[in-house]
Amino acid sequence: MPEHNQPNPGDHAIIIVGAGPAGLSTALHLAELAPELVPQCVVLESSHHPRPKLCGGGILPDGERILSGLGLDLDEVPRCDVDWAHFDFDGRGMRLRGERQGYYAFRTIRRHEFDAWLAEKARQRGILIHEETQVTKVLPEAGGVTLHTSRGEYRARVVVGADGSNSMVRRVLPSRAGLHVARLLEVITEAQPETSFHDQADSYFDFWVVPHGIRGYTWDFPALEGGRPVRVRGVFDSNVSTRPPTLSLSAALAQELHRHGLDLDDYQLEGFPIRWFDPRGTFSAPGILLAGDAAGADALYGEGISLALGYGRLAAYAVREAFAQQDFSFRTYRSTLLRSEMGKALRWRTWLARVFYRFRFPLVQAFFWHRLGPAIEWVVRRVVIGWAERELKQHK
Q: What is the pLDDT of residue 8?
A: 58
Q: What sign results for the dihedral spanned by CA atoms 202, 75, 274, 333?
A: negative
Q: Cα–Cα distance between 231 and 188 in angstroms, integer?
A: 6
This prediction's pTM: 0.94
Q: How far apart, in whole angstroms, are the C-alpha atoms of residue 215 and residue 310? A: 26
At residue 23, what are phi and psi to the nearest 5 degrees? -65, -45
Contact between 261 and 193 (Cβ < 8 Å): yes
Assign 3-state DSSP to the chain and report helix, strand, coil percentages, each to 5. 35, 25, 40
119 and 108 Cβ atoms separated by less than 8 Å: no
Distance CA 88, CA 257 (A): 16
| Through-space distance between the first and last CA atoms of the chain, rounded to whole angstroms | 43
pLDDT the model gives residue 15: 98
The type of residue at 320 is R
Q: List, as one string, the DSSP characters of 165-223.
A: TT-TTGGGS--SS---EEEEEEEEEESPPTTSSS-TT-EEEE-TTGGGT-SEEEEEEEE
**DSSP-assigned letter for residue 75:** G
Q: What is the pLDDT of residue 396?
A: 56
How far apart, in whole angstroms, are the C-alpha atoms of residue 289 and residue 159?
7
In three state form, how does the secondary structure of 259-287 look? HCCCCHHHCCCEEEEEEECCCCCCCEECC
Burial environment of residue 124 by CB neighbours within 10 A (0 to 12, 13 to 18, 19 or more)? exposed
Neighbours of 332 (CB within 10 A): 13
User: Mean pLDDT, 10 residues at a time, over the chain (396 residues)?
Assistant: 50 96 98 96 94 84 94 94 94 86 82 95 96 96 94 96 95 80 94 81 96 96 90 95 91 96 95 92 96 96 95 98 97 97 97 95 95 94 91 71
The whole-number pLDDT of residue 250 equals 97
How many CA atoms lie within 13 Å of 88's alpha carbon, on the beta-carbon side?
Answer: 17
Q: Which residues contact 54 (CB under 8 A, 6 or more apart)?
A: 111, 184, 186, 270, 271, 272
Of 299, 391, 348, 330, which Cα lies nearest the Cα of 68? Answer: 391
pLDDT of residue 171: 94
Q: What is the pLDDT of residue 93?
A: 96
Contact indicator for 239, 181 with CB cutoff of 8 Å: yes
